[in-house]
């Protein structure tokens, strides 16, 4: 029987659809192999899903198809072997957790991964569809095995210096997620405004969320105070909804509650928390202010713990940002309670007192199952035992923290501060805080410092671009500063270093910017390659 031969006509090889160009993918995948042939998406394409996350992925695909091409995929295949089918498989054992496999070949689209991987694989697939939505939807055959280089790929948004409504923050998250970023560091409290409702302390928002006006123009250079009241805050219900919205897109929101500095808005509301007792005002100018939380007063700690209790019920993030930057020690030096605390605890100077402050808050949060992250000033006077460090004054703090075996998020101002100029100030339509960070410089930043050993490099868990908003009073201005530089950050965070190429990146932006146009994002038009 083994010699039995079929005498019928040979099976016809499946007709291969003509090849088309592979659309560019941003961020560049870890590994992509283009194959000949193509797949055409039509309303007749069947779908086959396995797992709840796969169904969700299909829903997202259908929403996209409906919005952009006016149809949905309704036909379900009986098995994963049927031709002309999109097969989405949730595989709980797939590694790495955020990775995915997308194979388009043999008249099938197959996507495999865990929840996050399926989400990212879908983002890739959507980029492979032709950007002009009037065209036939033909996608090149391809095999993609993709995974991120860093687990933490973030952007920071400062909503204190200027307030932006939830709707805008959602749009911000949409774009992040499309380009596979997964951490939104939400800067919620500062001298110029307290933006999160805290039920136990209603004055934080009743008083602390509004200021009398804003400084327009650079201090000392024809600046004026506009006397236009500015304010706003998010209710807890709005923030819970935002957290859920972000989670659906695999974005974790890391809230920042600043301490012990940048505290004027809180002090204006509760002056007993400052060393002098006030009165204090929510600031309408920018910079660093001498009035900070009193480190000698027990009420300060009770207050911050109670605030954090409410913050933790809203934000499930395993890390909580406690600020820690730019805290002048002037008021502590003159404050009898602070001096007494230093004596009692054998603290040799005010930096040690700040370290005491942060360590106490760390202990409190660790007790609630959360870890803290703080700006690199938390290294001064002794780093709290489990704290992660956000290196912003260049890379130095991050290098020091990694050597101490602490986790680090790189966010050096000289490479990724999105409030810095993108070109010569005279050619820019809006006033920026200063600095000079053209797209190419942001793109070419390498987050793993060469002076660290391979072992030490493992502590650099990721990196992030920061957007401070002193001079950005409108959403359009935020868009202008963030894009396309945030896309450069997205690629550095996701793609292998050896897959990065600035000219190729600029080439890929054509499709990306087309998509951003469709979404109403008012990005800055980048200079062409070679400039
Ligand atoms: C420094 S970066 C700050 C912010 C300012 C920013 C302006 C950091 C931890 N603190 O308060 O907005 O410079 O670039």
* pLDDT tens track for 262-285: 999 999 999 999 999 999 999 999
CATH number, domain of 69, equals 3.30.379.10
468 pocket-lining for ligand 1 (C-beta < 6 Å): yes
Binned at pLDDT 50, 70 and 90, residue 78 comes out as very high
Asked if residue 1 has pLDDT above 50, the reply is no
Q: CB-side exposure of 21: number of CA atoms within 13 Å?
A: 5
- On whether residue 3 sits in a domain, the answer given is no
The answer to whether the beta carbons of residues 196 and 189 sit under 8 Å apart is: yes
Q: Residue 67 contacts by C-beta under 8 Å, 6 or more apart in sequence?
A: none
Which residue owns the Cα nearest ligand 1 atom 4? 468
Q: Residue 339 contacts by C-beta under 8 Å, 6 or more apart in sequence?
A: 296, 332, 333
Two tokens, residue 417: 């501060």
Three-state secondary structure along 374-421?
Answer: EEHHHHCCCCCCCCEEEECCCCHHHHHHHHCCCCEEECCHHHHECCEE
- On whether residue 24 sits in a domain, the answer given is no
- On whether residue 2 sits in a domain, the answer given is no
Q: What is the pLDDT of residue 3?
A: 52
DSSP of 151-202, one letter per residue? SEEEEEEE-SSS---HHHHHHHHHHHHHTT--EEEEE-EETTEE-B--TT-T
- In tens, the pLDDT along 141-155 reads 999 999 999 999 999
Compute, in angstroms, the gap from residue 468 CA to the centroid of ligand 1.
7
How many helices and strands, by DSSP H and E, does the chain display? Answer: 17, 22
Which residue owns the Cα nearest ligand 1 atom 12? 468
SS3 317: coil
- Same domain? 311 vs 403: yes
Q: Which atom of ligand 1 lies nearest, measured to the CA of 435?
A: 14
Asked if residue 315 has pLDDT above 90, the reply is yes
- Same domain? 67 vs 215: no
pTM of the model: 0.96
- Same domain? 78 vs 175: no
Two tokens, residue 37: 């042939």
The answer to whether the beta carbons of residues 251 and 177 sit under 8 Å apart is: yes
Q: Please give the average per-residue pLDDT across 19-30, as a whole number.
A: 96
Asked if residue 122 has pLDDT above 90, the reply is yes
SS3 28: coil
Binned at pLDDT 50, 70 and 90, residue 135 comes out as confident
Torsion of CA 189, 195, 199, 205, to 10 degrees: 100
- On whether residue 18 sits in a domain, the answer given is no
Which residue owns the Cα nearest ligand 1 atom 10? 325
- Same domain? 112 vs 219: no
The answer to whether the beta carbons of residues 210 and 264 sit under 8 Å apart is: no
Binned at pLDDT 50, 70 and 90, residue 245 comes out as very high
Cα gap 70→30, rounded to integer Å: 32
Q: Which atom of ligand 1 lies nearest, measured to the CA of 158?
A: 12
Q: Please give the average per-residue pLDDT across 365-387, as a whole number.
A: 97
- Same domain? 104 vs 176: no
- Same domain? 111 vs 198: no
- Same domain? 140 vs 160: no
Which candidate, 194, 266, 196, 187, places its Cα nearest to that of 237?
196
419 pocket-lining for ligand 1 (C-beta < 6 Å): yes
Among 116, 146, 176, residue at a domain's last position: 146
- Same domain? 344 vs 471: yes
Among 118, 146, 174, residue at a domain's last position: 146
Compute, in angstroms, the gap from residue 144 CA to the centroid of ligand 1.
39
Give the total number of structural domains in the chain: 2
- Same domain? 315 vs 336: yes
CATH number, domain of 254, equals 3.20.20.80
ipTM of the complex: 0.94
- On whether residue 531 sits in a domain, the answer given is no
Asked if residue 222 has pLDDT above 80, the reply is no
- Same domain? 342 vs 477: yes
Residue 238 falls in the annotated catalytic set: no
Cα gap 134→139, rounded to integer Å: 14
- In tens, the pLDDT along 481-497 reads 999 999 999 999 999 99
Cα gap 107→265, rounded to integer Å: 60
Q: Residue 508 contacts by C-beta under 8 Å, 6 or more apart in sequence?
A: 24, 25, 26, 28
Compute, in angstroms, the gap from residue 190 CA to the centroid of ligand 1.
10
The per-residue pLDDT of the chain, averaged, comes to: 95
- On whether residue 290 sits in a domain, the answer given is yes
375 pocket-lining for ligand 1 (C-beta < 6 Å): yes
Compute, in angstroms, the gap from residue 188 CA to the centroid of ligand 1.
13
- On whether residue 508 sits in a domain, the answer given is yes
- On whether residue 291 sits in a domain, the answer given is yes
Question: Among the listed ranges 57-61, 215-219, 367-371, 392-396, which one has the minimum average pLDDT value?
Answer: 215-219
Among 94, 116, 146, residue at a domain's last position: 146
Q: What is the pLDDT of residue 217?
A: 86
433 pocket-lining for ligand 1 (C-beta < 6 Å): yes
Q: Please give the average per-residue pLDDT across 188-208, as a whole number.
A: 98
Asked if residue 2 has pLDDT above 90, the reply is no
Which residue owns the Cα nearest ligand 1 atom 2? 392
Q: Please give the average per-residue pLDDT across 131-150, as a whole number.
A: 94
326 pocket-lining for ligand 1 (C-beta < 6 Å): yes
Q: What is the pLDDT of residue 218?
A: 81
Q: Which atom of ligand 1 lies nearest, measured to the CA of 390?
A: 9
- Same domain? 137 vs 167: no
Q: Which domain holds residue 226?
A: 152-518
- In tens, the pLDDT along 65-77 reads 999 999 999 999 9
SS3 80: coil
- Same domain? 413 vs 453: yes
- Report the length, in residues, of the chain: 531
> Which residue in 55, 326, 456, 475 is the catalytic one?
326
Binned at pLDDT 50, 70 and 90, residue 8 comes out as low
Q: What is the pLDDT of residue 132?
A: 84
């Amino acid at each position: 029987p083994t010699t039995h031969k079929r005498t019928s006509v040979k099976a016809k090889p499946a007709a291969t659809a003509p090849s088309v160009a592979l659309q560019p993918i941003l961020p560049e995948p870890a590994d992509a192999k283009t194959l000949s042939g193509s797949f055409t998406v039509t309303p007749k394409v069947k779908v086959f899903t396995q797992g709840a996350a796969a169904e969700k992925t299909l829903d997202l695909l259908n929403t996209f198809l409906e919005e952009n091409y006016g149809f949905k995929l309704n036909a379900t295949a009986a098995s994963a072997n049927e031709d002309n089918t999109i097969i989405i498989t949730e595989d709980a054992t797939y590694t790495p957790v955020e990775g995915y496999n997308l194979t388009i070949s043999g008249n099938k689209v197959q996507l495999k991964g865990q929840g996050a991987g399926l989400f990212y694989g879908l983002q890739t697939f959507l980029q492979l569809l032709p950007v002009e939505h009037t065209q036939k939807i033909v996608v090149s055959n391809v095999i993609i095995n993709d995974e991120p280089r860093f687990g933490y790929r973030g952007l920071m948004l400062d909503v204190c210096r200027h307030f932006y409504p939830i709707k805008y923050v959602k749009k911000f998250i949409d774009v992040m997620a499309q380009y596979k970023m997964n951490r939104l560091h939400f800067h919620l409290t500062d001298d110029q405004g307290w933006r999160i409702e805290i039920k136990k302390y209603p004055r934080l928002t009743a008083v602390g969320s509004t200021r009398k006006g804003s400084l327009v123009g650079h201090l000392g250079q024809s600046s004026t105070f506009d006397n236009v009241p500015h304010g706003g805050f998010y209710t807890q219900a709005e923030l819970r909804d935002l957290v859920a919205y972000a989670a659906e897109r695999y974005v974790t929101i890391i809230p920042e509650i600043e301490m012990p500095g940048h505290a004027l808005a809180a002090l204006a509301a509760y002056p007993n928390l400052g060393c002098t007792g006030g009165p204090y005002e929510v600031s309408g100018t920018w910079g660093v202010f001498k009035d900070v939380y009193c480190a000698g007063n027990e009420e300060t700690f009770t207050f911050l713990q109670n605030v954090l209790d409410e913050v933790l019920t809203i934000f499930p993030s395993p890390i909580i940002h406690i600020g820690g930057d730019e805290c002048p020690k002037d008021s502590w030096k003159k404050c009898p309670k602070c001096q007494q605390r230093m004596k009692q605890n054998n603290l040799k100077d005010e930096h040690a007192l700040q370290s005491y402050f942060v360590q106490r808050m760390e202990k409190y949060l660790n007790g609630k199952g959360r870890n803290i992250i703080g700006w690199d000033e938390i290294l001064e006077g002794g780093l709290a035992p489990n704290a992660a460090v956000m290196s912003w004054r260049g890379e130095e703090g991050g290098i020091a923290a990694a050597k101490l075996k602490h986790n680090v998020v790189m966010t050096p101002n000289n490479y990724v501060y999105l409030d810095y100029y993108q070109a010569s100030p005279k050619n820019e339509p809006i006033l920026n805080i200063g600095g000079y960070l053209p797209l190419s410089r942001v793109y070419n930043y390498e987050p793993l410092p060469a002076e660290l050993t391979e072992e030490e490099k493992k502590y650099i868990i990721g990196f992030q671009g920061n957007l401070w908003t002193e001079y950005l009073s409108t959403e359009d201005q935020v868009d202008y500063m963030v894009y396309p530089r945030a896309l450069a950050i997205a690629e550095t965070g996701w793609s292998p270093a050896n897959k990065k190429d600035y000219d190729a990146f600029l080439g890929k932006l054509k499709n990306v910017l087309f998509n951003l146009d469709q979404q109403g994002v008012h990005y800055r038009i980048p200079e062409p390659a070679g400039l």
